[in-house]
Structure formats: C-alpha cells, structure tokens
C-alpha cells in the first residue's frame, strides 16, 4: 500500500515538517476585470490542504487576499471607454463600472466571492488596500527603507541575472536611485503612468528620517511631493510586496502559478527577502500549471474568461473540484465544457468507489477515492451515496418539453432514479436536485453540447424516412415494439436487448439497425445512447411513433 500516494499527501507532509503552531494558507488575486475559473486551481488546492490539516487537528487559517491596490494598466473591452482616464489609479479607487459595488475592485471581487459558498469555499477575505493602512504594514515599509541596500542587492542578484547586460545596467541604476516603494499621488490619485507602452511608476526617491517623511515624484503631475509615511499612500513594488505580506500574515503555505514559481523567479526572490530582511522563513512553495479553457489561456484583461457563475449554470461544483484536485498541480488542465458528461461520469465513479458501490475498483483507485472524494464535497456531511439523475438522462429530459409535459418528465426521471438506486421513493430534496440537474443540462445543451447530444423531435415522421426503411429495418422496429410492450428494463438491459434483436435479424449490420431507430424518432442517423434515450421517452408515445413508421 505504501507505494500509492496522492500528491496532496506530499504537500501536507511538507507543511507539517515545519511544525508551526498555526498553519496559515494564503491565496491571492488581482482584480483587473471578470475573474475566470483559473483562480479555483489555487483556491481548491488551499481548501483541500485546509480540510486535511484540520482533520489532523491543526489550527489552520485560510486567507484570500484581493490585490485591489494594484493600479490599472488597461481595461477589458466590456468596460466603458472613458475608463481610460483611470489608467494608473489603483482598482480600489476606481468607481464601479456597473450599478453594484463601491469600487471597480469590489464589483469584480464580489462577483467571484459570491460564488464561494456554492463551491464549498470559505476563506477569510482580506483587501490589500486595507492591509497597507495598518500600523504593522507601515512599520514593514520602514524596515524596507532601513534595509533598502540589502533588498537592492537581492533584487539585482535575482532579477538582474535574467536580463541582458544593457537592461541589467539600467535596472541597477534605477534601483540605486529609488526605493522599491510606489506612491499614489496625493494630488492626482495615480500610482503610475504608461508612456509609449512603458510603465513609469511614482517611486519614493528619498526618506527623511528626522520627520519620517518620504519624497516622491509624480509622473502624471510632473511634480515632487513630500508626505509623512503614516499619511502617504505607499505600496511596495511587487517582488517586495509579496514577502511583506507573507511576513505580515505569517503565511506558511501559498500556491502560485508556474510563471512565478520557476527557480530564481519572483517566489524565490520573495523567500530570500522574507528570510534575510524580515527574519521570517516564509511559506512552503507550491507551484501549479494553468487551468486552461480548451486550448487557450484565459486572460482577465483580454476578456478571455469562463467564470465560476458560467460554470454553475451547467455543472455541479463538486465535479469541478474533482477535476482540479485530482490533477497534480504541475500537470496542466484543459477545462472543456463540451466534455462535461465525461467529467461527470468520472466523478460519479469516484463517488461509487468511495461508497463501495463499484466492485471492479482496484486498491489504488480505492486509496485515491478515499483521499480525494471528501475534498470534492460542498456539503461535507454527506454520509451515503446520493441518488441522483445521471446527466445523460438530464440532457435528454431537458429537450423533451415539446412532446412531454413537466410532470411526466419528473415522473420518468424518478423512475430512472428508483431503478438505478433500487429505492422505493424519491425525497423532496432529491426531487429538487433532479429539477436543478435538468435545468443545468438544458443550459449545457444550448451552449456547449456536441451535435450528438442534441435532440429535436418532430411531431411526425418524414415520409422520405418511412419510404427508405428496408425490410430488415422494419423487422427491427417491429421487434422493438414487442419488446417495449413486454415490460420494464434497465438502461443496460434495454441497450443489450436491442443489440441482440438487430443481430438476430439477418441482412443488417448493427450500425444500420441503430440508425433506423434514430431516424424514426429524431430524423437523423445518430443521437444519445439508445438505452437511456428510449427509457426517457413516454412509452406509449414511443410505441405509437415506432408503429407509425411501419404504416
């Protein structure tokens, strides 16, 4: 059994080696627009660690830090054009572009945070703009000022090493002239300007110890200002800002995207500053690969996003948690909404393995399910497998409104569940979930489903289709009518019996046999898996339809 290990166990072991009194897991996000589901990779890793560590009796704090103090570099296309006047202003100071929310940052942050309960997330929310107002942060800034030479040396070693000679020289010169501290101008409210594509930040140029004042130059006002450290709106440059936050919050673990976690990158620079300047060991580094949307990288500022809310319209949150948590962080994930039925099948198998309803599961699968399944749950009190309508049925039911009324659909759906789970009744709560699943499936069909999931049943069969049926195909249809009149079948039984009928009728290959049924019902040669599809339909209607094909 020792050979089997799930990635998250290794991460937990490494964290426990630190043996801290309190484990602080941190995650962060800048808020330049609509936030896509990519952030869930980081959040689900954090939340999974929290769950496991808490189960082991650790005292765990989980923070989600919203970087609302970052200045706007550009705006996505769905933001009014006159917002360009706010370029250089921190997102926390820019008004909300829509009717809700105080600021730009708050609007988009709330859009994300409001989905957290649905995904089983409950981190403590912190705002960078507020952290920078605390006495503790002001003191950290004073430490940075005091030990600026050490910081400059670390930055030159780590950042300078990645630049060509000319750029490294310029970097060195800039560092020597300024402090790694940006300032929001007291007059115009900007932290930086962008000139010909180049970002020019307002930096602290000098510090006057006697009066505890900073001197800075605003590149927008073209003016020099002097302000007390306590009054000035300061922000550490980001390679210093990150370790400052780790030190301030005593962070013991923080995952970060692969771009920052490469050897010698921003994370390593931060760890060095954290240890050497602040005297704090810093967090355990967990690097992760992007969560991609199909074949593209999602980009908030370009508006290439698939949001948590868009996901909730089509899928169960547990399935997304599973998709992310099961994958080791350094392996990339492509989320493809058109694959949703497959994701759901994989998730439901893990669920069955966990609850011992999957006899063919091997030891490795059982071991993984025991660790991963509890991490997928939104409602962590679930003690038994939940009877639920399989998505493939929901997809069909969601498209039958033209030939069956809602009540009939619900009765058929309950029949399906009763048969699969061998239960006599379906509870109110389960009924509500059936309805929700059918709604989600309907949304999925409208927006993302591949053609073979789409059903469009005409009120009667096309004459052409009738005329083109061969004698063998007609025999198949006749025998299926007889079969349906015999009684109740499970999905598998029905599928197998139809298969046998087709094989036993001579002169017809299996494909042609199946095609004839689809043609009669859907007017096309393919459709959802026949067993589940036929069971979803009203039996009398179905028999009538098949009979009409023979007339």
Pick the closer one to Zn ion by CB: 76 or 201: 201
Determine the size of the site formed for Zn ion (CB under 5 A): 6
Identity of the residue, 135 or 222, whose beta carbon is nearer to Zn ion in the bound complex = 222
Sign of CA dihedral 277, 278, 283, 289: negative
Stretch 271-290 residues interacting with Zn ion (CB under 5 A) = none
Question: Is residue 414 a contact partner of residue 426, using CB atoms and an 8 Å limit?
Answer: yes
Distance (Å, whole) CA 7 – CA 324: 12
Q: Which of 64, 129, 125, 126 is nearest to 91 (CA)?
A: 129
C-beta of 192 vs 536, nearer to Zn ion: 192
Q: How far is the CB of 96 from Zn ion (least distance, A)?
A: 23
Smallest distance, Å, CB 200 to Zn ion? 12
- Cβ–Cβ under 8 Å, residues 145 and 179: yes
- Select the span of 212-220, 301-309, 369-377, 479-487 touching Zn ion (CB under 5 A): 212-220
Q: CA of 418: how far to CAs of 388, 494, 533, in Å?
A: 10, 16, 17
**Least distance from C-beta 119 to Zn ion, angstroms?**
41
Closer residue to Zn ion, CB minimum distance, 194 or 312:
194
Stretch that binds Zn ion, among 217-225, 238-246, 420-428, 540-548 (CB under 5 A): 217-225
Structure tokens at 127: 């705002």
- Please identify, using beta-carbon distances, which residue of 225 and 367 lies nearer to Zn ion: 225
Task: Please state, in angstroms and rounded to a whole number, the distance separating the CA atoms of residues 168 and 162.
Answer: 8
The CB-of-220 to Zn ion minimum distance in angstroms stands at 4
Q: How far is the CB of 185 from Zn ion (least distance, A)?
A: 3
Distance CA(260)–CA(283), nearest Å, equals: 14
Closest distance to Zn ion from the beta carbon of 187 (Å): 5
Burial of 287 by CB count in 10 Å (0-12 exposed, 13-18 middle, 19+ buried)? middle
Judged by CB, which is closer to Zn ion: 218, or 236?
218
Rounded CA separation 445/409 (Å)? 17
Binding piece for Zn ion, criterion CB under 5 A, among 218-226, 315-323, 437-445, 499-507: 218-226
- Report the nearest approach of Zn ion to the CB of residue 195 (Å): 14
Q: How far apart are CA 283 and CA 216, in angstroms?
A: 32
287 forms beta bridges with 256
Nearer to Zn ion, 104 or 216 (CB): 216
Q: Yes or no: say if 148 and 180 are a contact pair by the CB < 8 Å rule.
A: yes
Nearest CB to Zn ion, comparing residues 231 and 471: 231
What are 29's two structure tokens?
């996000």
* 323 within 8 A of 333, measured Cβ to Cβ: yes
- Cβ atoms of 33 and 302 within 8 Å: the answer is no
Question: Interacting stretch for Zn ion, rule CB under 5 A, among 67-75, 211-219, 381-389, 472-480?
Answer: 211-219
Closest CA to 216 of 196, 245, 194, 188: 188
**Which one of 32, 103, 220, 414 is in contact with Zn ion (CB under 5 A)?**
220
Classify 200 as helix, strand or coil. Answer: strand
Kindly write out the interface string for residues 124-153 of this chain, putting x where it contacts Zn ion by CB under 5 A and - elsewhere: ------------------------------
Residue from 39, 218, 449, 519 binding Zn ion (CB under 5 A): 218
| Least distance to Zn ion, CB of residue 186, Å | 8
Residue 69: CB minimum distance to Zn ion, A: 17
Smallest distance, Å, CB 293 to Zn ion? 38
DSSP state of 93: G
C-alpha span between 247 and 238 (Å, rounded): 14
Interface positions, 168-197, toward Zn ion (CB under 5 A): 185, 187-188
Q: How far apart are CA 542 and CA 22, in angstroms?
A: 63
| Residue 87 binding Zn ion, by CB under 5 A | no
Nearer to Zn ion, 221 or 312 (CB): 221
**How far is the C-alpha of 541 from the C-alpha of 112, rounded, in Å?**
45
CB closer to Zn ion, 188 vs 439: 188
| Contacting Zn ion within 379-408 (CB under 5 A) | none
Using CB under 5 A, pick the residue from 113, 221, 377, 410 that binds Zn ion: 221
How many Cα atoms occupy the beta-carbon half-sphere of 96 within 13 Å?
Answer: 12
CB 174, min distance to Zn ion, A: 20
- Which residue lies nearer to Zn ion by CB, 222 or 429? 222
Instruction: Tally Cβ neighbours within 10 Å of residue 317.
Output: 20
Helix (H, G, I), strand (E, B) or coil at 291: strand
Residues that bind Zn ion (CB under 5 A): 185, 187-188, 218, 220-221
């Amino acid at each position: 059994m020792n050979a089997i290990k799930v990635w998250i166990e290794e991460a937990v072991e490494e964290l426990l080696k630190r043996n801290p009194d309190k484990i602080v897991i941190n995650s962060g996000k800048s808020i330049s627009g609509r936030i896509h589901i990519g952030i869930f990779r980081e959040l689900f890793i954090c939340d999974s660690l929290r769950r496991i560590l808490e189960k082991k009796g650790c005292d765990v704090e989980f923070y989600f830090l919203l970087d609302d103090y970052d200045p706007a570099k550009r705006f996505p296309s769905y933001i009014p054009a006159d917002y360009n006047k706010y370029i250089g202003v921190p997102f926390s100071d820019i008004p909300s572009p829509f009717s809700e929310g105080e600021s730009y940052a708050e609007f988009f942050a709330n859009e994300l945070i409001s989905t957290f309960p649905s995904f089983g997330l409950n981190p403590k929310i912190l705002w960078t703009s507020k952290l920078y107002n605390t006495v503790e942060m002001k003191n950290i800034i004073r430490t940075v000022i005091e030990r600026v030479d050490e910081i400059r040396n670390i930055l030159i070693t780590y950042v300078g090493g990645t630049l060509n000679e000319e750029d490294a020289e310029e970097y060195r010169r800039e560092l020597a002239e300024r402090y790694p501290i940006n300032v929001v101008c007291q007059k115009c409210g900007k932290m930086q300007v962008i000139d010909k594509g180049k970002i020019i930040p307002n930096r602290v140029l000098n510090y006057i110890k006697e009066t505890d004042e900073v001197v800075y130059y605003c590149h927008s006002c073209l003016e020099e200002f002097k302000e007390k450290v306590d009054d000035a709106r300061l922000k550490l440059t980001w390679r210093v800002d990150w370790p400052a936050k780790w030190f301030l919050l005593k962070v013991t673990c923080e995952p970060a995207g692969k771009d920052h976690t490469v050897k010698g990158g921003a994370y390593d620079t931060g760890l060095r500053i954290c240890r050497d300047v602040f005297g704090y060991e810093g967090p355990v580094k967990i690097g992760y690969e992007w969560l991609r949307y199909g074949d593209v990288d999602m980009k908030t500022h370009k508006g290439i996003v698939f949001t948590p809310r868009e996901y909730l319209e089509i899928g169960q949150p547990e399935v997304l948690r599973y998709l992310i948590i099961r994958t080791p962080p350094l392996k990339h994930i492509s989320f493809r909404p058109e694959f949703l039925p497959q994701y759901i099948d994989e998730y439901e198998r893990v669920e069955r393995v966990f609850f011992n309803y999957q006899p063919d599961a091997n030891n490795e699968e059982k071991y993984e399910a025991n660790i991963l399944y509890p991490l997928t749950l939104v409602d962590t009190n679930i003690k038994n497998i939940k009877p639920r309508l399989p998505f493939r049925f929901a997809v069909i039911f969601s498209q039958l409104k033209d030939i069956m009324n809602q009540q009939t659909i619900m009765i058929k759906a309950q029949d399906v569940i009763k048969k699969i789970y061998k239960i006599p009744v379906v509870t109110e709560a389960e009924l509500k979930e059936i309805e929700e699943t059918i709604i989600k499936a309907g949304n999925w069909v409208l927006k993302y489903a591949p053609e073979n999931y789409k059903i469009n049943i005409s009120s009667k069969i096309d004459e052409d289709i009738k005329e083109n049926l061969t004698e063998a195909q007609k025999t198949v249809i006749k025998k299926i009518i007889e079969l349906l009149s015999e009684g109740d079948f499970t999905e598998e039984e029905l599928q197998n019996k139809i298969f046998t009928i087709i094989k036993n009728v001579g002169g017809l290959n299996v494909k042609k046999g199946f095609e004839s049924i689809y043609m009669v019902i859907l007017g096309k040669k393919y459709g959802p898996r026949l067993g589940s599809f036929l069971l979803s339909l009203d039996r009398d209607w179905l028999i009538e339809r098949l009979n009409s094909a023979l007339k």
